[in-house]
Structures are given as structure tokens and as C-alpha cells.
A and B are shown apart, each in its own frame.
Chain A
Amino acid sequence: MVYSRTKSLFFLAAATALVTLPGCGRKAESAQQQGGTTATATGKSQYFPLQSYRVGPYAAGGSGFFGGFIDYMQLVNANGGVNGVPLSWAECETEYDVEKGVECYERLKKSADGSPTAATNPLSVGIAYATLDRSTADKIPLITINHGRTDSTDGSVFPYVFPLQLNPYSEVSAIFNFIGTKSGGLDKLRGRKIVVLYHGSPYGKETNRVIDKLASRYGVTIDKIEVPHPGNEQQSQWLKIKQFAPDWVILRGWGVMNPVAIKTARKVGYPADRIIGNIWSNSEEDVVPAGDAAKGFIAITTHPSGTSFPILQQIKTAVIDKGKGNLSDPKRFGTVYYNLGVVNGILNVEAVRVAQAKFGKRALTGEEVRWGFEHLDIDAARLKALGAVGLVQPLKLSCSDHEGGGAVRFQQWDGRKWSLISDWVQADRPFLRPIIEESAKQYAREKNITPRDCTKG
């Protein structure tokens, strides 16, 4: 092959452009669109970097969650912000991929207009693990609502990490308690067989150890079966389950793994009403694709789906009806993922509000917002004022407890919608606490961290 000079030069120029462009990342970024209101009297807004994901196998979760989160922030802005401080945000696509999540964290952690950063909400255990040290060093709270690293519940070792509402251990413990009630008492669990079908990721494996502890405590025989990411083929796993013939299957799935599990269960003849989905196997997107096979499927939830809550009606009038809603498919308004995004928005904004009461009504630094999270105290009266009774559980956080609630309700899919089948079921938090503390202590040793003294407030 013979190349002309012009052609070579063209290639060289193209290659140079390619290499230098990311180097100019900072510049390109300032030109990047920052959502929400940015211009205010003080020139500053409260900024939320959003490591969102809208493509890939987990797109349903990401687009629903971040859709709800953004719509709630739009509602807050429409009502004049948080005590006059508007909210702003910028998005970056992670595809639920750890490296991309880290890139997005670094890209977005500082806002384009100099507004201080409140908190990050990556909605991915893998990304949360990878940005945990960075968040602590940068003094930006890392919020992992309903998921995350369980031992980060111990705020004395993890000051900047908040597994709000429900950490993974509480989740399994509550499921065991529910199965206990169904069997006529926890003492009746002895000799029963339970299979845990889990997603082959840090998220999926997070609970394996505590499941063993709970199993030996109640005398349950456990079989843990892994489904490799993303989980669209489960024939062998379900044949194994069929052979083991468990009383219950706990489905610890995520994304496409869930409908496939339900469909395969039907194929091998395992009843759907004996499968209990965990907190990431509980949405409409998990059951609708499974069609009829999902009828009777049970799942836990921290918040019901539905649009009847006053807060959702407010979002409908102020945001959705004006054509500003973030969901590309408006039918998903009020689904489980969307409502979780709204709940997450409420908790983030409430933390800002709590911190404003102490530090002043202005845009706050991540360090100040962290204080706000740690002093969150949402009681029944506050929930009523927010229009979120039944959507958010009462929550009180402290220096040593970064989780707060630890209660779930159980819902069942009837083929068209979820209906609640239980009241709040509380996790056995006193039993879990020593396990969490031990794990946090080991982390502190590995990382040379001196835990804070939480007795001093």
C-alpha cells in the first residue's frame, strides 16, 4: 500500500485530536449542560452529580430511579428551592460499569458553575465500593439507599457513607422474619429448606455470610446458588433448585435476571408464590416481562408503587403535566423504581434542609450536608407535611447508625399490579449490629482508620 503525504497527515491530525480531546475535558465540561436552576441571587445552587445509567442490562432501574430523583428536584425548584436555594444537577452515563462510574464521579464531582456538591448517589454497589475512599477524601457524602456496603452502617468508621433506610443485612433478616411468621413462628423454621439465588456481583454476594449466620441461628438448611451477571440464562440453576425442593426461594436478583428467574421457575414447575424477591427484585419491570408466570410472586419493598401519594400528585401537576417529566415513557410514573427515586430525592433534600437549619440558608458544602444526613430525623408529622405518608418510613439517623429504618413491607403481584400483603416487618437489628461492627472494625484495621467516638455526639 502506498500512502500520500496528505493522507498521512490527515490520519496524524485525526489521531492527535482523539488523544488531546479528553485532555481538554475540563474545558468541555464547563460547557456541559447543568440541569436545574443555576442562576440565583447568590449565584450558587445546591449541586447533585448524577452517575446515572439509561442503557445496558440495568437501564430500567437506572432510568426509573434517576427519573424520579430528577422530577422531585424539579418539583423542589418549582416551589422555590430549599429555603430559597435552588437545586442543580449534571448527568453522566455509567452503564452500571465500575470504571465508567469512577470516571463519571471524577468528571462531575465539581459543578460547572462552582456550586457546592451535596452528595453522590451512584445506585450501584460496585461503583459505591470504588468511590468510597474518594468520597471520604473529597468530603462528599455517598448515599446508597436500600443497598451498599453493609458495614458502612457503622458511621464511626464510615463518616461519609449512608446506606439509607435498609442495608443488605436488614433486608435478609426481615425476609427470614416474614418466612417465620408464615410458618407460624421463628421456632418453626427449624428443618426448613431455603434457596438463595443471587446475582454474581458484589451486590449479590454481600449477604451470603449473614445468611449463613441466620440459617444456623434458626436451624434452616440453606443452598446458595449464583447466577452470573447479567443472568439471562438460568436453566441449570432452577433445575438444581427443583431437585433441592426448598420451602422458599429468596431471589436476590437485579435487572434482567429477575423476569428470567420467574419464567424459568414456571418452566421447571416451581410455584411463584414461594419465591420472595428482595429489594432489587421488586419492580414492575421485574414481573411484567415474565407475564403470567409472575402471578403470585412476592417481593419486599420499602415503598409501595402507585401515584396516589400527595407528593406524587404534586410532581404530576408541577412537572409531568407541564411536559417536563424526565421519564421517556410517562406510563412508568409511580412505578417502584420511580418512587424509589422520589424517596431518595426526599431524603437528600431533607438532609440539606436539616443542615441548613444549623449552617444557614445557603448552598452547603458536602461536609455540612453530611452533618445533615447524620441528623436526619423524619417522624410521622414531617412525613405528613411532605405528603409522603406510607411512601417513606420514619427514619432517624445518628453518628453510629447510618441506616435508620430497617423495616420492609411485603407485596404480591396479581398479574396487573402490586398489592401489599403485610404490615411493616422489622429486621432483627440488635442481632445484626455486632456482625456489622466487627466487619467495620476489620475495615478500619486494613485502612488504618481510627473510628470516631460516637458517644460525643
Chain B
Amino acid sequence: MATVPFFRPTPLGLSLRPAARNMLSALVLAAAALLPFVIGSDYLFSAILVPFLILSLAGLGLNVLTGYAGQLSLGSAAFMAVGAFATYNLLVRLPDLPLPAALLGGGLVSGLVGLGFGLPSLRIKGFYLIASTLAAQFFIPWLLSQYSWFSNGNASGVITAPPLRLGPVDLDSPAGHYAATLAVVVLITWMAANLLKGPTGRAWIAVRDLDASAAALGIAPGRAKLFAFAVSSFILGIAGALWAFTYLGTVEPAGFDLDRSFQILFIIIIGGLGSIRGNFLGAAFIVLLPVALSLAASAIIGGNVDPALLENIQKLLFGALIIFFLVTEPDGLTQLVDRAHRTRSSWIGLGKFRQQER
């Protein structure tokens, strides 16, 4: 306001020059690759970082569909389940298949299934499309638990991850799981970012903003939507496979229920629709905040209060924080970071404020 008279709200503004931006990403990446191994503990790896990365990836999957291509979906968890069970079956039935190939295969199967459930999007939009993706959410876990073939005949319908190996390297340790997850997440995020920057991403945004005018520009909205469904489900499938293999080590169809779909939807709403960074911020909020609250609660008042009461207080606090952030920043945490960044950059002269093209 008065203190920053030159400030103008620019919804999708970039505050750093591209070179500085690239350097920053490289720095974050290097930190993610090295730092945990220096200070890391099993707890940090397998209870914090791995689920955070996987849910960020799942958020990216849904964001491609919802944030960029504008198609609403409540079936994210179902596609994760397809990816997890497909990868599992590939690994169990073809033991010689290397892990990356099985992951890719799981993702492709999930992409195909997503393509199928995306067909209604050719005709319907908005809330009606939610209803049809909801069908996937109920049908797929039912199918997977109904036929024990999918879980290789396990009595309780639970699949257990076979040992994870990449050539001669044994990945079956918390640090190995983290390394594998990080590599996959970085690779997929990089590929998705390139896709979104290119003509495909622009076509999706055009369809999202108004499909009639996109058609007038020579974009085939139907094809763009279906491709978005396929890419989104592919990414979700990979996330699901990682969830089963590098995080829990075991998974049941009910682990991919509607609650999980909502969780992913909240990640992208809180993090920011139509943003790659937003997925990571949103996942941080959803995964890390409850853990932070629980650790803080037990450190500060633990032992003096009835544990059940303590737990309910945390839930109330978490809910209140979600509402607080959504009210103060409806465009998501990514906008918050952008804004703070811009203010600070112009303040200490790190970067030059750039006017956005739009």
C-alpha cells in the first residue's frame, strides 16, 4: 500500500530473472538430494519426506487435469490404486522386469484407464464430470478387492511390495526409498513442466479458459481433454506405485479411498491451481502440518492432558488453519510465496521486478 507504491498485483507474475530462477531451482534440488543424507534419520525419510514427495507428485497429476486443463475430478485415488496394483502385478508376474520399467508400465496402465474414464468429459462438464469421476473412485477399488487375482491371491486383499532393487543397488532402506522417490518425482516434475510450457500446456489452458474459443483457435478440445486425462492418470499412477512401494511397502484397495482423492484435491486448492510449485506447498501443508502440530502438542502439553482431548484440539487447529489460509489467500500458497518473494526482492535488490505479459 503506501509503503510499496509501485506494487501491482500480477496473478501469475514471476519475480526473478530466468537465470536466477534456474539457479534457485538447482539449489533447492541440490539441497533435497544432499541435505537429508547429512542430517537424515529413518523418521525424516520414511515418515516425512517420502509421503510429502509422493503426495506432491499426486497433486501435480491432479493439477494437470484440474488446474491446467480445467476438468474437475474426484477419482485421483482410484488412478493411484491402478498404478500401484499394475506395478505390483508386473513385478510379481515378470520377476525379471527392472523396477523403472515396471513403474513406467504401471503408469501407462493407469494412463489408459484414465483415458477411458475421461471419455465422459467430451460431453459433460463441471459438477457432472465430478459425478462421473466419482464412479471411477468407487468402481476401481471395488474391482481390485473383488477379484483376488489383482492381489496375487492374498487373503486380505493386501499387496506387499517385493524387494526393491535397481540393478546391483539395493533400495530397501529408508534412505534408498527416499532416493528412489526423489529421482522419480524430479524426473516426472521436469517432464510435466516442459509439457506444460509447450503447445500442449497452452492448449490445455485455452480449453480451460473457454473451450469454444480454443476450438476457434484450431485446438481440438476433445483431444486436449482426453490427453490431459491420460497424462494426469499416468502421473497419479506413478504416485500410487511409489505410495505402495517406497512409502508403505504394502497397500490395500481401501487405502485409495475417496478420502485420499479429497486430500489430493485439497493439496492443489491450498497449494494453488495451475501451478507446479503449488503442489509441493500444498502437500507440505497437508502432510507436515498435522505432524508438526502433533509433535508440538506432545512437547508442550503432552502428559498433562487427556490424549484423546489433545488429539481433538489438533484437529480443530488444523481445520482452523485451513480456513485461515483459504480466506487470506484464495489463490493458494504459491501466490503467497510469489508475493513475499516480490516484495523482498525489490526490497533488498536481489531481483528486478518484472511486469508480467498477461
Contacts and interface: CB of A to CB of B under 8 A. Distances in A.
A binds B: yes
B44 A23 contact: yes
Contacts of A126: 158, 252, 255
A271 B157 CA distance: 32
Contacts of A103: 47, 291
A448 B281 CA distance: 39
Contacts of A205: 145, 155-157
B326 to A, nearest CB: 13
Contacts of B51: 99
Interface in B267-324: 281, 284-285, 288-289, 291-292, 294-296, 298-299, 302-303, 306-308, 310-312, 315
Contacts of A35: 303
B155 A32 contact: no
Instruction: Identify the interface centre among B41, B156, B255, B298: most chain A CB within 10 Å of its CB.
Output: B156
Nearest to A138: B42
A21 B296 contact: yes
Given A205-B145, A446-B162, A22 B343 contact: no
Contacts of B288: 18-19, 21-22
Contacts of A26: 41, 43-44
Contacts of A41: none
Contacts, number: 177
Contact of A91 (B44, B46, B307, B329): B307
A285 B292 CA distance: 33
Given A103-B291, A107-B43, A446-B152, A98 B296 contact: no
A436 to B, nearest CB: 10
B92 interface: yes
Contact of A28 (B41, B173, B296): B296
B312 A55 contact: yes
B249 A4 contact: no
B306 A28 contact: no
B75 to A, nearest CB: 18
Contacts of A109: 42
Given A32-B302, A33-B302, A55-B312, A129 B250 contact: yes
B1 interface: yes
Contact of B339 (A3, A207, A448): A3
Nearest to B330: A1
A129 B343 contact: no
A185 B1 CA distance: 87
A166 B247 CA distance: 30
Contacts of B172: 137
B19 interface: no
B295 A328 contact: no
Nearest to B281: A15
B contacts with A: majority SS: helix
Contacts of B113: none
Contacts of A129: 156, 158, 160, 250, 252
Interface stretch (A195-203, A258-266, A375-383): A195-203
Contact of A446 (B160, B289, B344): B160
A133 B176 CA distance: 15
B299 A32 contact: yes
A52 interface: yes
A447 B163 contact: yes
A248 interface: no
Given A93-B294, A205-B145, A54 B340 contact: no
Interface stretch (B3-11, B65-73, B104-112, B349-357): B3-11
Interface string A5-29: 1101101100100110111011011
B175 to A, nearest CB: 12
Contacts of B187: none
A448 B163 contact: yes
Given A5-B347, A21-B292, A129-B160, A106 B249 contact: no
Instruction: Identify the interface centre among A4, A52, A210: most chain B CB within 10 Å of its CB.
Output: A4
B33 interface: no
Given A11-B340, A328-B306, A55 B41 contact: no
Contacts of B302: 32-33
A55 B308 contact: yes
Contact of B155 (A33, A54, A63, A208): A208
Interface string B152-169: 110111101111000000
Given A4-B1, A130-B250, A23 B336 contact: no
Contact of B343 (A8, A149, A207): A8
Contact of A4 (B4, B163, B255): B4
Nearest to A103: B47
Contacts of B336: 8, 11-12, 15
Instruction: Identify the interface centre among A29, A55, A201, A202: most chain B CB within 10 Å of its CB.
Output: A202
Contacts of A132: 160, 249-250
Contact of B46 (A11, A106, A149): A106
A321 B249 CA distance: 44
A177 interface: no
Nearest to A200: B254
Instruction: Identify the interface centre among B145, B292, B312: most chain A CB within 10 Å of its CB.
Output: B292
B339 A8 contact: yes
A129 B347 CA distance: 53
A15 B281 CA distance: 9
B248 interface: yes
Contact of B162 (A54, A105, A210, A447): A447
Contacts of A11: 328-329, 336, 339-340
A309 interface: no
Interface of A: 1-6, 8-9, 11-12, 15, 18-19, 21-23, 25-26, 28-29, 31-33, 35, 52, 54-55, 59, 63, 91-93, 95, 98-99, 102-103, 105-107, 109, 125-126, 129-130, 132-134, 137, 149-150, 200-203, 205-210, 229, 328, 439, 442-443, 446-448
Given A18-B292, A130-B250, 11 more contacts: A6-B3, A11-B339, A28-B299, A31-B299, A32-B299, A54-B308, A92-B298, A93-B310, A106-B42, A107-B295, A328-B306
13 contacts: A4-B4, A26-B41, A31-B299, A106-B43, A129-B158, A133-B250, A202-B156, A206-B156, A210-B155, A439-B155, A446-B152, A446-B162, A448-B162
The 7 residue pairs across chains A and B that have the minimum distance between CB atoms: A33-B303, A202-B156, A21-B292, A54-B308, A12-B340, A106-B47, A8-B340
